[in-house]
Amino acid sequence: MTKDSTQQDLPAWFAETRKKGVSVAGNGLFTIFRIADLPLQYYLLSSGVGLKLVEKLGGRAVSNVVTSPVTKIGLSPYDSLVFGLAVGSAAKQIYWCLGVADNKFDPGFSTMIAAYNTVLNSVNTLLTLWAVSSNRPAVGDSWSTMFTTQPSIAVGAGLYGLGLFTEWWSEVQRKQFKQNPANKGKLCTKGLFGMARNINYGGYSLWRAGYSIICAGLPAGLGMFVFLAGDFSQRAIPLLETYLAKKYGEHWKEVKKKVPYKLIPYIY
């Protein structure tokens, strides 16, 4: 299969993202921007600017924000949890960029991916500060009451943990598979990738849904999951699988038979 035939009918930007190698500038920018997201989220939660921004956008800000520092990082337990979601996602994505990914992402693409995640995080943070959507506990804000009085927070935390682990571990397993010389020219169908061909995308959808549930309740989490799963199934997966079909030919047909699910095991 020639390079031209592999890339036929694929957008130029997508073909660029499939190139192997390391872009020092791209990886550096991605890492810097993902780290920079953390002080932004903390500032929105702690300074009162987030509350004012909600009001400037025409919304009514929550009135039960604990303003006095009650945890070691100077936030209420609930806001500390929300900030922790941003920390966990940044840590996972930076680890993926520097330690797992083998595609050469140019600075422009890396910046776009980092900005996309910052936008989603910021929307979630503002939803916690909007009275209509906020999922913060109405009575008390302690680690014990937070999960007992607001069960959806526990549901969101479970989905967040499951999704983040699924995305991280599937990518680690695939890297280990590729590093074995016996697997050269083969696609990974071992471990979690033996359950769904794009299970890393499924993991991303799950932890993003959990993130939104913690911030704005079950409807927001469902909406986030539908949005991401729809985008992956209608855009990202067709592009990727068109590329794989052209590159791997008969082997790709074998992979599809062995692993029939695209995104979520036993569902789709």
- The fraction of the chain above a pLDDT of 70, given in percent, is 94
pLDDT in tens, 234-266: 999 999 999 999 999 999 999 999 999 999 999
| pLDDT higher than threshold 70 for residue 5 | no
- pTM, 2 dp: 0.92
pLDDT in tens, 12-42: 777 777 888 888 999 999 999 999 999 999 9
* Per-residue pLDDT, 18: 80
Instruction: Give the ranges where the chain is alpha helix by DSSP (H).
Output: 3-7, 12-17, 24-46, 49-56, 77-95, 107-129, 143-149, 151-179, 199-216, 218-231, 237-248, 250-258
Q: Give mean pLDDT, residues 82-93.
A: 97
194 contacts: CB under 8 Å, gap ≥ 6: 258, 259
| Banded pLDDT at 80 (limits 50, 70, 90) | very high
58-67, 135-144, 159-168, 236-245: which has the highest mean pLDDT?
Answer: 159-168
Closest to 259 (Cα-Cα) out of 186, 187, 197 = 197
Cβ(109)–Cβ(18) below 8 Å: no
Q: Could you tell me the CA-to-CA distances from 84 to 76, 94, 113 in Å, in that order?
A: 12, 15, 20
* DSSP states of 168-184: HHHHHHHHHHHHSGGGT
pLDDT in tens, 44-68: 999 899 999 999 999 999 987 765 5
Q: Give mean pLDDT, residues 102-111.
A: 89
| Banded pLDDT at 207 (limits 50, 70, 90) | very high
* Per-residue pLDDT, 1: 41
Q: If you average pLDDT over every residue of the chain, what do you get? A: 91
pLDDT in tens, 179-197: 999 999 999 999 999 999 9
* Per-residue pLDDT, 6: 47
Q: Give mean pLDDT, residues 103-120.
A: 93
